[in-house]
Amino acid sequence: MPAERMGQLSRRLRLTFALTSVLFLIALAISPVKDSLREWKRYKRAYVQFTQSRPDTKRLLADYRPEIDQIWLPELSVVDRCTTCHSGIDEPSLLDPTVPQPFRAHPPIPHSVRDWGCTICHRGQGAATETAEAHETTLAWEQPLLPVHFIQASCGTCHRADLPEAPELNRGRQLLTQLNCVGCHQLQDAVRPSMIGPDLTNIGSKVSRAWIYKWLKQPRTATDKDGNVTATGYDSSDSLPRMPQFRLTESELRALSAYLSTLHAKSIESYRFDPRVIAALSGKSDVADQGEVRFRQMFCSTCHSLAVTRAGETKLIGGDIGPELTKVGSKVNRDWLVAWLRDPQSYLASSMMPRYQWSDEDLYKVTQYIMTSLTDSDLLSDVPQLGEPAADEIQAGRRLFIDKGCASCHVIDGVAPQHDFGPDLSGLGKKDVSQLSFGESKIPRNLIAYIQGKITNPLSVNSAARMPNYSLPPADLDAVTTALLSMTGPPATNGLQKLLVPRTAPVFQPTGEFRRVYERYKCYACHEFNGFGGTLAPDLSYEGSRAQRQWLISFLKNPLTIRPTLIYRMPQFNMTDQEATVLADYIGLVLQSPAVDPANADTKPFTPADVALGKQLYEVKYQCQSCHTIGATGGYVGPNLNNTGNWLTSAWIEAWLRNPQALVPGTIEPRRTFTPDEIHALTAFLLTLKQQGKTAAAASLSAEAGISARALGSESRR
């Protein structure tokens, strides 16, 4: 019996053992089976299968290994396993868009995948071996793949200087400055300009309380695309209103307008016009019209825009260096305007407005034009009766000026701004999603949606936000987002630190008498000098090699058009002979190109045969008239050559024909392969092109007449 029982027991035991062994074996098999079914192995097998359908199978499989591929760059702390699945990433034959992902090759870029890895640009989790973990936000990894639309942000993490290949990033950086973001926020590599908003120390002597009230409520007198004057109107061309709209209550509007209207530290004395001018002009009905002609002739529109309605469409025409002036006559008081036109810097030391030479007559006419024609009688019609500012309103306004952040952009003598008013954004681009507070909003939980939600409606993520509303068109919003995403703070590793391409701040500090004239007319507002200055007008770094002295002097005194398609033209400063000579002499002496050496110039004399050959080359062989105008015919891509003989130096023409980009990097004239004889002949021909004073003036006038028509037709496709 015991033996029987023993046998029974052992049978049961054996059965148990057998069962557990099987279970155990199955359990052991789970792991290898699971491993062989891994996602990346599937992709590996699919790649082998895919290559069978290609003509170059053998080459495509030359480097193939059935294991995890990894790009390891310890210097940059890159461990990227992306190439495990993206097997064809550097196979030129797989570049075609018909190649299925993940096998398609990367489009050719300046950085190779092998040397840089993937995550430096694309972000995401490089060491992950599953698609979702590598690409998207997981609990363990908060940095998802950057959508390719915003990928230029990654260029900006190392390239702090602007890159021509990354236009979206450049535009975004430019907008961050133009929109005055730097007024309240710390931004990576953004230098705080000397003036963000105008100094308001003396604002009470310039505008009325009612106007301040209106401006604070609806800061934009610009028009939207339908021609309506709106608070959120935003012209996506170059005319950006710089003052954003704040959310102010009625009492806050009253308080701020009361406080600001009492600020008149320095009284403005009214200018005494020559009594003969007043006698001749006052009461004349066409004084304003004459003023308008002067306003146009002096090319105020190069810096200031006016709203123009044609064919039912209203647009701003003119530049954005200075404020838009459509309704300025209803804004400023007359004494202030005259004082301002005579000497802008005495009211606002950091103003970029040139100090023009005015005759009393012109000053009177232009003032009259601005005060009577650039007006809107309805501008202040919806402002309530404000009355005299009360003491408690002034007190509250002064406090609001700091609390609302006005002081972050505007200076008032004796009022200290709140330090670090807005959050520091210099490391925003690498913020983890968990570090962002979305509040109650329904915004998708990612950094891009957060940035865009915050800009378009600050209250959506933070009901106590002090940030004003910015309604940017989608393209600009994306550009700003790209620029903000590029701000990832100081690089994490030494390797990356070494790779930083810093943003440089060029300086140009002339001296002596030239400096005085240069400062007076603010040449650098539009022109660039050795990298410093504006980009509206031609770079003058090498102007001394380019232009003949006599031409420079007469051009400065009466700027005429060289490039007829340009909307923006050099203003007429009415400078004196002496000032023009000072400028021309300095330019000729100092602003020389190393690529143009007059000592090395071709000294062969120009013969009539050269001229004839040059004319033939110009007209027949190279057909330069497709872009340049001589006489009244030709193209208007390049400059008008009618006055070349008086304008350019022969050394410059020769050097230019040899290699235009050596003289002006980025100029669009393609470099050709002219022979030295052809260069000699073309130079000879171009130097014979001379215009007499009268025709030059006529050409300039006819261009002026055409200018507003052209400006209207300047809808760009971008």
Q: Does 622 bind other proteins (CB under 8 A)?
A: yes
* 3 state SS for 333-388: CHHHHHHHHHCHHHHCCCCCCCCCCCCHHHHHHHHHHHHHHCCCCCCCCCCCCCCC
Q: What residue type is 708 in one-letter code?
A: S
Nearer Cβ to other proteins (606/622): 622
The contacts of residue 298 (CB under 8 Å, 6+ apart) are 356, 366, 571, 572, 574
Q: Does 38 bind other proteins (CB under 8 A)?
A: no
Cis, peptide link before residue 102, omega less than 30° from 0: yes
Q: Does 165 bind other proteins (CB under 8 A)?
A: yes
CB of 660 to other proteins, least distance (A): 9
Q: Does 92 bind other proteins (CB under 8 A)?
A: no
CB of 186 to other proteins, least distance (A): 26
Q: What are phi and psi of 3, to 5 degrees?
A: -65, -40
d(CA 629, CA 621): 16
Task: Count how many residues are written for the chain.
Answer: 718
CB of 579 to other proteins, least distance (A): 30
* DSSP assignment string, 77-108: TEEE-GGGT-TTTT-GGG-STTSPTTSPPPPP
CB of 165 to other proteins, least distance (A): 7
CB of 488 to other proteins, least distance (A): 19
Residues 182 and 166 sit within 8 Å (Cβ to Cβ)? no
Nearer Cβ to other proteins (11/149): 149
Q: Does 673 bind other proteins (CB under 8 A)?
A: yes
Tokens of 400: 């609001």
Q: Does 715 bind other proteins (CB under 8 A)?
A: yes
Tokens of 116: 């840089």
**Stretch 555-574: interaction string toward other proteins, x if CB under 8 A:** ----------xxx-------
Beta strands in 113-154, from DSSP E residues, in sequence order:
none
Q: What are phi and psi of 315, to 5 degrees?
A: -140, 160
Of 120, 60, 69, 65, residue with least CA distance to 90: 60
Nearer Cβ to other proteins (150/215): 150
Residues 196 and 182 sit within 8 Å (Cβ to Cβ)? yes
Q: Which of 78, 120, 151, 263 binds other proteins (CB under 8 A)?
A: 151
CB of 653 to other proteins, least distance (A): 17
**Stretch 122-141: interaction string toward other proteins, x if CB under 8 A:** ----------x---xxxx--
CB of 19 to other proteins, least distance (A): 18
Q: Does 168 bind other proteins (CB under 8 A)?
A: yes
Q: Does 449 bind other proteins (CB under 8 A)?
A: yes
* DSSP assignment string, 241-269: --SPBP---HHHHHHHHHHHHT--SSPPP
Q: Does 717 bind other proteins (CB under 8 A)?
A: yes
**Residue 37, CB-side half-sphere exposure with 13 Å CA sphere:** 6
**Stretch 104-123: interaction string toward other proteins, x if CB under 8 A:** ---xxx--------------
d(CA 426, CA 448): 15
Phi-psi region of 312 (alpha: psi -120 to 50; beta: other; left: phi over 0): left
Residues 716 and 686 sit within 8 Å (Cβ to Cβ)? no
Q: Which of residues 465-504 bind other proteins (CB under 8 A)?
A: 478
Q: Does 228 bind other proteins (CB under 8 A)?
A: no
Q: Which of residues 388-447 bind other proteins (CB under 8 A)?
A: 444-446
CB of 492 to other proteins, least distance (A): 24
Q: Does 225 bind other proteins (CB under 8 A)?
A: no
Q: How many residues in the shown chain lie near other proteins by CB under 8 A?
A: 54
Q: Does 269 bind other proteins (CB under 8 A)?
A: no
Other C-beta atoms closer than 10 Å to the C-beta of 8 total: 10
Q: Does 605 bind other proteins (CB under 8 A)?
A: no
Q: Which of 100, 423, 506, 635 binds other proteins (CB under 8 A)?
A: 635
Nearer Cβ to other proteins (345/457): 457
Nearer Cβ to other proteins (136/403): 136
Q: Which of 174, 456, 661, 688 binds other proteins (CB under 8 A)?
A: 661
Q: Which of 5, 32, 36, 55 binds other proteins (CB under 8 A)?
A: 55
Q: By CB under 8 A, which span of 378-386, 519-527, 621-629, 680-688 interacts with other proteins?
A: 621-629
Q: By CB under 8 A, which span of 255-263, 408-416, 626-634, 648-656 interacts with other proteins?
A: 626-634
Of 113, 134, 138, 116, residue with least CA distance to 125: 134
Nearer Cβ to other proteins (481/548): 481
CB of 626 to other proteins, least distance (A): 4
Nearer Cβ to other proteins (254/628): 628
CB of 460 to other proteins, least distance (A): 16
Residues 565 and 665 sit within 8 Å (Cβ to Cβ)? no
Residues 590 and 508 sit within 8 Å (Cβ to Cβ)? no
Nearer Cβ to other proteins (157/180): 157
Q: Which of 307, 580, 653, 711 binds other proteins (CB under 8 A)?
A: 711
d(CA 57, CA 131): 25
Q: By CB under 8 A, which span of 102-110, 302-310, 408-416, 570-578 interacts with other proteins?
A: 102-110
d(CA 284, CA 278): 10
Q: Which of 144, 156, 538, 544 binds other proteins (CB under 8 A)?
A: 144
Which SS3 state, helix, strand or coil, does residue 602 take?
Answer: coil
Phi-psi region of 8 (alpha: psi -120 to 50; beta: other; left: phi over 0): alpha
Interacting residues with other proteins (CB under 8 A): 53, 55, 97, 107-109, 132, 136-139, 144-145, 147-149, 151, 164-165, 167-168, 444-446, 448-449, 478, 565-567, 620-623, 626-627, 634-637, 661, 668, 670-673, 710-711, 713-718
